[in-house]
Structure 1
């Protein structure tokens, strides 16, 4: 597999391909989008797509990796100005609500990818798993900072609230799902 785009500068053509992949993979689904459509929408040849990414699997990995990087930067940026573990935990749900309203019309790109990529060894599933592990680790660190007696157990519960809010927002059209999850999280947190 070629070096992932995050590890090397993107050419203008590769940037167009990746931007197009972001739009099409997220809105239509990975398996519904062929390389011909990607090339056409990016305004380049299919050969150029393969020259820049090597395979559709590598492009899927680049798409998911970049989406993950955007989410992590968004969330950590949102938390940067918030003090205290308890407040920072609650702020993750505020960030999630804002992200979903702006970027989440079809839910979590990582979960969507896992649903479309049944091979547990697909490199795209690895990206998704790493994002969820990172999120659980963030919650564990924040739970410890907040003085939780069992940071691992609290992190697991917070991750489930986070993921459940995403599903409720997307599937049920519940615009307040992240706020509801925030209130549930608040009830789980140590007082102090």
Structure 2
């Protein structure tokens, strides 16, 4: 009889396996059997944890979002001013692109594979992206920057564009350009 510890370990192993395979092969190209085999469990065990592949995908995205939020908090703690914290998020995005093996953003990749905006996977993507924007807005407001909503939209576009371009070109130096542009936007918003 499996213990709660075994259940928890299998659950995490399944999410880790899904993460590795979804990144490597794509979500739609990765079957449930492949995830179970990669995790070293049976399909029956997988279905004891996740009622469907969609549920597994959402769990993978939500777990990654938890890790992302923790990394954001660590980045914010290591920078002094809200403006410096905003710029620090460019460094964090750059680091995650490298650590992700240049495979791009799993949320953007998931959105591309699930175009229906009402699908549970798309809702998980939207939760994450709204969270990124919320962090940016909180920092812009804390810094007392003028027109924070517009500034956040611009900075968000720079972050997303740098992540996608970096993945497409296998070149993270685009973050330096995006960060410089964001610094100019922040300076302009400080003096306005």
TM-score using structure 1 length:
0.90
**Aligned residue number for residue 176 of structure 1:** 173
* 2:61 and 2:125 in contact (8 A); partners too: yes
The 5 A counterparts of 1:63-78 are 63-78=60-75
Give structure 2 stretches of 5+ with no counterpart. 1-5
2:82 counterpart of 1:99: no
Once the two structures are superposed, residues 99-155 of structure 1 have per-residue CA deviations (whole angstroms, 9 ceiling, x without a partner) of 212225211100000000122211111111111111111111111122211000000
In structure 2, C-alpha distance between the alignment counterparts of 1:103 and 1:69, rounded to whole Å: 16
Change in Cα spacing, 1:93 to 1:10, as seen in structure 2 (3 Å) is: farther
Name whichever of 22-31 and 98-107 sits farther off: 98-107
In structure 2, C-alpha distance between the alignment counterparts of 1:36 and 1:123, rounded to whole Å: 21
In structure 1, C-alpha distance between the alignment counterparts of 2:7 and 2:86, rounded to whole Å: 35
The 5 A counterparts of 1:76-155 are 76-155=73-152
In structure 2, C-alpha distance between the alignment counterparts of 1:37 and 1:21, rounded to whole Å: 9
**Aligned residue number for residue 3 of structure 2:** none
Instruction: Report the Cα offset of residue 157 of structure 1.
Output: 0.4
In structure 1, C-alpha distance between the alignment counterparts of 2:54 and 2:68, rounded to whole Å: 21
Give structure 1 stretches of 5+ with no counterpart. 1-8
Three-state SS of the structure 2 residue aligned to 1:97 is helix
Please provide the CA RMSD for this pair: 1.5
**Aligned residue number for residue 13 of structure 1:** 10
Change in Cα spacing, 1:182 to 1:10, as seen in structure 2 (3 Å) is: farther
TM-score using structure 2 length:
0.90
Change in Cα spacing, 1:104 to 1:110, as seen in structure 2 (3 Å) is: farther
Instruction: Report the Cα offset of residue 97 of structure 1.
Output: 1.4
Three-state SS of the structure 1 residue aligned to 2:118 is coil
**Aligned residue number for residue 62 of structure 1:** 59
Q: How many residues align?
A: 184
In structure 2, C-alpha distance between the alignment counterparts of 1:136 and 1:16, rounded to whole Å: 30
In structure 2, C-alpha distance between the alignment counterparts of 1:11 and 1:118, rounded to whole Å: 32
In structure 1, C-alpha distance between the alignment counterparts of 2:76 and 2:94, rounded to whole Å: 14
